[in-house]
Structure 1
Amino acid sequence: MDYVFDFASVFRNFGPLWEGLWVTIQLTVAANIVGLTLGFILALLVMSKWAVIRLPVMLFIEFFRCTPAIIQIVWFFYCVPMLFDVFLGSAAMGIMALGLNLAAFNAEAYRASIQAVPREQLDAGIALGLNPLQRIAYIVLPAAVRNSIPVLLTNGIGTFQQSALVAIVAVQDLMYQGKTLATQTYRPIETFTIVALIYFAVSFPVSQIVGYLERRREMQAS
């Protein structure tokens, strides 16, 4: 192979990659806020005893879990303005799609954690005179979040990685900036290698935290 690697040409133009990384982090944080909040609400609704509430929520969760994230992003970007006459920026559409996708996966994590809350704790809340909302706020929510933290962090990493898909709708995230820089410098191998390493450098420490929390929980359970 006669190809001569030249990473210096990428590092000399590293500014756009930093800007793209900042956009990616903002997208990830915003999507996680939506996913963590809405996911818990969906988990409560999908456990409702009323089918008229439970079935639509279940359909919503399965739709976002069983369709590709890239289709969801494209659908929101192109179809929402046409169907609902709502025009938002590409970044807002990306956050909406990523947030709803994450909410569907987080809902399942929350649901499993909620079902693991001992019945005795709920009975104690009733004995103390707590109403349903107070029992959710003071008993169910803390236990559900605590038990599902490893899964929620793993889902958060996945959203950080999936955020690269918003580049197809012209959101100037890390992937978009990397693609632009590769075109400008004619160095796709070097550029996308560095982009991949940036994604790895952010994701790997979080994955280690997830592993630590899971090992700690197993030790406490034993």
Structure 2
Amino acid sequence: MDGVESSSEPKSRSALGTALLIILALAGAWAALRHFSGGVLGAGAGGYDWDFGVLWKYRSLLMSGLLYTLLFTVICVVLGLLVGLVTGLGRLSSNPVITAPLRAYIEVFRCTPVLVQLVWFYYALPVLTGIEMSAVVAATLCLSLYGGAFYSEIVRGGIISIDAGQTEAAKALGMTRLQLLRRVILPQAFKKMVPPLMNQSIMQLKNTSLLSVLAVPDLLYQGQVIAHDTYRPLELYTFIAIAYFAVLLPITIWAKRMEFGSGPKEV
């Protein structure tokens, strides 16, 4: 009975947190409606005449920026997962010739700001390699490797968390190392890896807001272009913040539920 009660506590806290987030979102939407309709928080408050009509005029540009942001995130997450899987498995090797460069790669990307990495990949890497690359290619390469460094540690941590006794039993049955990974270790480790993988993927989506420094046409960059054209930066950045929130809130709630669902079941 104690196990059932304790396992229900995280779920109740999650439900309470979700309810609070929804209430805050509704309160924000209500305040925005009051503001836009000329209520208590109406136009002219604070000395600024708000005009959100500009958003409708540039709706196609904003939607293209949002779609570009989502598509770019999916591509970088998929590539990052592939890099992380290969790197994480490589880190399990006992050969220092393999593990040393992989660890160096991971520490470099984890210990330097992603904004600095983006600028370096776009401006410095072509100088070193002699290979010209567009801003999109440089950003894709950078964010994929950046995410891969974090994904690799998640993969490695999930694999080493599996009981060593299962590995020994599988070897006693004559399984090869590949069969051991595919049939025994990875299916169990994947359940533990899902929550941190989801959280890191959410971070990847937020990191796309930095692409504007390379003039990649994501949502933030399109908003900056429109703001320079209309001199309405507050309306544009407010919309961008709401758009990111609207996309990330359902994903965050889903990731939290998966995190509770992947925990140990007690009876």
- TM beyond 0.5: yes
For 1:95-129, what per-residue CA distance to the aligned partner results, in whole angstroms no more than 9, with x for missing partners?
A: 11001000111111111111111223322332332
Structure number with larger C-alpha Rg: 2
Q: Is the 8 A contact 2:194 2:259 kept in 1?
A: no
Secondary structure, aligned partner of 1:220: coil
Instruction: Name the residue aligned to 1:177.
Output: 222
For 1:68-97, what per-residue CA distance to the aligned partner results, in whole angstroms no more than 9, with x for missing partners?
A: 001111111112221112223211211110
* 1:161 maps to which of 192, 195, 206: 206
Whole-angstrom CA distance in 1 between matches of 2:186 and 2:263: 21
Q: Structure 2 vs 1, CA of residues 50 and 221 (structure 1 numbering), >3 Å: closer, same or farther?
A: farther
The alpha-carbon deviation at position 15 of structure 1 amounts to: 1.0
Instruction: Name the residue aligned to 1:33.
Output: 78
Higher relative contact order (CA 8 A, sep 6+): 1
Whole-angstrom CA distance in 2 between matches of 1:37 and 1:144: 16
Aligned pair 1:54/2:102, yes or no?
Answer: no
Aligned pair 1:134/2:179, yes or no?
Answer: yes
Q: Considering only aligned residues, what root-mean-square deviation do their CA atoms show, in Å?
A: 1.5
Matched pairs, number: 222
The alpha-carbon deviation at position 219 of structure 1 amounts to: 5.5
Aligned pair 1:123/2:168, yes or no?
Answer: yes
For 1:154-178, what per-residue CA distance to the aligned partner results, in whole angstroms no more than 9, with x for missing partners?
A: 1001010101111111110111101
Secondary structure, aligned partner of 1:120: helix
Amino acid corresponding to residue 113 of structure 1 in structure 2: G
Instruction: Name the residue aligned to 1:150.
Output: 195
Q: Is the 8 A contact 1:10 1:185 kept in 2?
A: no
Secondary structure, aligned partner of 2:263: helix
Whole-angstrom CA distance in 2 between matches of 1:76 and 1:173: 18
Shifted more, 196-205 versus 49-58: the winner is 49-58
Q: Structure 2 vs 1, CA of residues 143 and 92 (structure 1 numbering), >3 Å: closer, same or farther?
A: farther
The alpha-carbon deviation at position 221 of structure 1 amounts to: 5.6
The alpha-carbon deviation at position 195 of structure 1 amounts to: 0.5
Shifted more, 191-200 versus 48-57: the winner is 48-57
Aligned pair 1:187/2:232, yes or no?
Answer: yes
Instruction: Name the residue aligned to 1:99.
Output: 144
Q: Structure 2 vs 1, CA of residues 164 and 88 (structure 1 numbering), >3 Å: closer, same or farther?
A: same
Secondary structure, aligned partner of 1:148: helix
Whole-angstrom CA distance in 2 between matches of 1:109 and 1:192: 34
Q: How does 1:60-99 map to 2 (within 5 A)?
A: 60-99=105-144
Amino acid corresponding to residue 142 of structure 2 in structure 1: A
Q: Is the 8 A contact 1:31 1:98 kept in 2?
A: yes
Q: Is the 8 A contact 2:191 2:262 kept in 1?
A: no
Whole-angstrom CA distance in 2 between matches of 1:7 and 1:39: 42
TM, length-normalised to structure 1:
0.94
The alpha-carbon deviation at position 52 of structure 1 amounts to: 2.0
* 2:260 maps to which of 203, 215, 220: 215
TM, length-normalised to structure 2:
0.79
Amino acid corresponding to residue 215 of structure 1 in structure 2: F
- Unpaired runs of at least 5, structure 2: 1-45
Runs of 4+ in 1 over 4 A off after TM superposition: none
